Amino acid sequence: MAKIPTPHIGAKAGDFAETVIMAGDPLRAKFMAENYLENPKLVTEVRGMLGFTGTYKGKRVSVMGHGMGIPSIGIYTYELFNFYDVKTIMRVGSAGAYDPALKLGDLVLVMGACTDSNYGSQFELPGTFAPIADFGLLRAAADSCDKFGYNYKVGNVLSSDIFYSDDPQIEKWQKMGVLAVEMEASALYMNAAKAGKRALVICTISDHLVTGEVTTSEQRRTTFTHMMEVALSLL
């Protein structure tokens, strides 16, 4: 059993709040800490993966980066759930739209996550596991979106290991009602299920695989605030 600090997280026992909001880009976590948290304290910066703990409206919360892809989020969320006693992890990330009705900036509340990854094989289940969100968090997030007036859809995404695919076969996923593609949700949901913890993924549409529309890295870092506000409202 690993001891803390872990090989990938430099925080001490008690440095993390019970709820951690995570983003692929550690600079997005830094943006959240600087713009939303009161008295944020840097608790880890191993490999440049920044993590902060502070308060939001009097409630203790941490924000941290998780990197790109299932292996990266798999490591960080495993260590947070199992070694730092984190109870809830919410990912706020970007996604590419498959659904023609989605627009840049819309939110996707990820109810379930398909995947082309082999991550779940470690559990040696006698079938195919369906990674899903915590329903309480999902329902509360939808309520918050309604309250704030944010455009959103609830549904299934594809968590893919491949960013540059020779043959993405988007149409096949569209036929199954998959809303968008991202790279981390399924591993987070599997780790949460195995640890008996809670997880939710809220994505902002950063590019559209149907229309070809895209946003810049700066826009993704500093203007995708609706998903942050929804996540913070669930504390």
What is residue 166's predicted lDDT score, i.e. its pLDDT?
Answer: 92
Reported as a pLDDT band with limits 50, 70 and 90, residue 220 is confident
Can you tell me which residue has the tokens 């502070």?
54
pLDDT at 38: 97
Please report the pLDDT score of residue 2 as a whole number.
60
Nearest to 118 by CA among 160, 180, 167: 160
Domain 19-233 has CATH 3.30.930.10: no
Residue 64 scores a pLDDT above 70: yes
| pLDDT tens by residue, 148-202 | 999 999 999 999 999 999 998 999 999 999 999 999 999 999 999 999 999 999 9
Beta strands in the chain (DSSP E): 19-23, 38-44, 51-56, 59-65, 88-97, 107-115, 152-159, 180-182, 198-208
Judged by average pLDDT, the poorest of 35-44, 143-152, 207-216 is 207-216
Residue 186 has a pLDDT of 98
Residue by residue, DSSP assigns 155-199 as EEEEE-S-SS-S---HHHHHHTT--EEESSHHHHHHHHHHHT-EE
Q: Sign of dihedral through CA atoms 116, 203, 81, 33?
A: positive
Q: Note the pLDDT tens digit of each residue in 176-191.
A: 999 999 999 999 999 9
Structure confidence at residue 85 (pLDDT): 95
Distance in angstroms (rounded) separating the CA atoms of residues 52 and 5: 15
For residues 138-149, average pLDDT: 98
Residue spans per domain, the chain: 19-233
When pLDDT is averaged across residues 1-25 and rounded to a whole number, the result is 92
The string of pLDDT tens digits covering residues 77-102 is 999 999 999 999 999 999 999 999 99
Q: What is the pLDDT of residue 218?
A: 84
Is 50 exceeded by the pLDDT of residue 1? no
State the pLDDT at residue 74. 98
Which active-site residues does the annotation give? 207
Look at residue 108 in the predicted model and tell me its pLDDT.
98
Predicted confidence band of residue 219 (pLDDT cuts 50, 70, 90): confident
Q: CA-CA distance, 177 to 188, in Å (whole number)?
A: 21
Instruction: Give the DSSP H or E segment for 86.
Output: none
Cβ proximity of 161 and 72 under 8 Å: no
Average pLDDT, the chain: 96
